[in-house]
Amino acid sequence: MESGGKDTNIVLTKPFSLESESDNSDPSYRAPNILSRILSLLKNVRPGSDLTQFQLPPLFNFPKSQLQCYGESVYCTGSDLLSKCNSEQSPVERFKSVVAWSISTTRPTSFAVAPYNPILGETHHVSKGNLNVLLEQVSHNPPVSALHATDEKENIEMTWCQQPAPKFWGTSIEAQVHGKRQLKLLNHGETYEMNCPHLLIRILPVPRVNWIGNVNIRCLETGLTADLFYTSSHSFLGIGGNHRLVKGKILDSSSSKVLYEVDGYWDSTVTLKDTNNGESRVIYDAKEVISGLQAPIVKVVQNVWPTESALVWSQLSQAILNNDWEKAREAKQLVEERQRKIMTERETNGKVWVPKHFAVSYTEEGGWDCSPIHKWVPAAPIIA
């Protein structure tokens, strides 16, 4: 596989964590008067409009690609929840750990800034311990991102296929995330399928970002399922209330018996209450998992692929970090123009682009399906 040059400028920034909001970290790349700028940007957009191809100026970007955001929710963790999923002795205990891990992939984000839309063929490849994570942008229009992560030591495999579909609703933007996430605990012969919540960006009356909606988790082999609901507590005119609630239940689908009730806050603690004996215990503590997270580092720069997100967008990310908005505009334009040129050349030569790392298909009934070409993801030159 190709690699980047020795003088490559690769820009990697901290992932969003609990501190991102509590200390308003990294405000340096947030433009002034952001709310009025957003209202101006959207003034000619009709409610109900699809924003998938909406071009954001760099003022509204934070310095990373959407691929990196997906990847960080897997490899940026303060505790190894995946190993816990694997080490539990009974199917029910493993399922409870998978529910906790699924909640851990819900991360804080920031109002008024969004990641870059990945270019076709863009990749992001990072290792954390024995877990190797690889993402590829397998479609540009519509935008579809595929993820494959493997841990050969634990014998764990993960595949995601994600298609965000943001729509403007006048005072808010809701980004539904279509697609399926799959986690395989190969030692136990268990496959878990799940979806993820949607992102609600409320512009008025009070600007805020929430994860909302239903998440269903099921183990195909054991028949255990979980129904989670991400929501906000009631508040007056959007003021007050808690906006990080997650509630739900774990049940045995064969008997429809509710085994556990799920209750808590995904940015704090989530507890399970045993419906049999009434006992409660914490299964997820956000402070342990998504607190104090650090940016990944480049271990072997020569092995970084030219398609790596942190390299493709490096000039734009550096300009945003430097508050150099003119240079940021030029850097973003350069990436987009280069991509248009490649697409034009491809069309002229009658070539069809094919993903390098995934076999991709689409059906009206099942949506997008992304199957990894290789069994194991290799170790990455970037480590978390």
Q: In angstroms, what CA-CA distances link 161 with 69, 152, 368, 380? A: 14, 21, 7, 21
Total length of the chain: 384
User: Please, are residues 63 and 317 in contact by the beta-carbon 8 Å criterion?
Assistant: yes
Residue 133: predicted pLDDT: 98
Residue 207: predicted pLDDT: 84
Residue 140 predicted with pLDDT over 50: yes
Residue 27 predicted with pLDDT over 50: no
pLDDT band at 358 (very low <50, low <70, confident <90, very high): very high
Residue 317 predicted with pLDDT over 50: yes
Pairing of strands 245-252, 257-265: antiparallel
Q: Percent of the chain at pLDDT above 70?
A: 92
Q: Of 346, 348, 319, 349, whose CA–CA distance to 331 is shortest?
A: 319
Domain ranges, ordered by start, for the chain: 18-291+368-383
Q: What's the token pair of residue 17?
A: 């964590």
pTM of the model: 0.91
Would you say domain 18-291+368-383 falls under CATH 2.40.160.120?
yes
Instruction: Write the DSSP string, 167-226.
Output: EE-SSEEEEEEEEEEEEEETTTTEEEEE--PEEEEE-SSS-EEEEEEEEEEEETTT-EEE
Q: Mapping DSSP to helix (H, G, I), strand (E, B) and coil, where does residue 151 land? A: strand
- What's the CA dihedral at 96, 97, 103, 107 to 10 degrees? 170
pLDDT band at 233 (very low <50, low <70, confident <90, very high): low
Please tell me the least confidently modeled range out of 196-205, 238-247, 305-314. 238-247
At 338, which helix (H) or strand (E)? helix 325-348
More confident residue, 24 or 308: 308
Summary mean pLDDT of the chain: 90
Cα(132)–Cα(130) distance, integer angstroms: 6
pLDDT in tens, 91-132: 999 999 999 999 999 999 888 789 999 999 999 999 999 999
Cα(50)–Cα(144) distance, integer angstroms: 15
Q: Give CA 78 to chain center in angstroms.
A: 17
Residue 28 predicted with pLDDT over 70: no
pLDDT in tens, 155-213: 999 999 999 999 999 988 999 999 999 999 999 999 999 999 999 988 888 888 899 99
Q: Percent of the chain at pLDDT above 90?
A: 76
Q: Of 162, 67, 59, 44, whose CA–CA distance to 117 is shortest?
A: 67
Contact partners, residue 80, CB within 8 Å, separation at least 6: 129
Residue 14: predicted pLDDT: 93
Q: What's the token pair of residue 316?
A: 């734009």
Residue 288 predicted with pLDDT over 70: yes
Please tell me the least confidently modeled range out of 71-80, 227-236, 241-250. 227-236
Give the residue carrying structure tokens 């398609």: 307
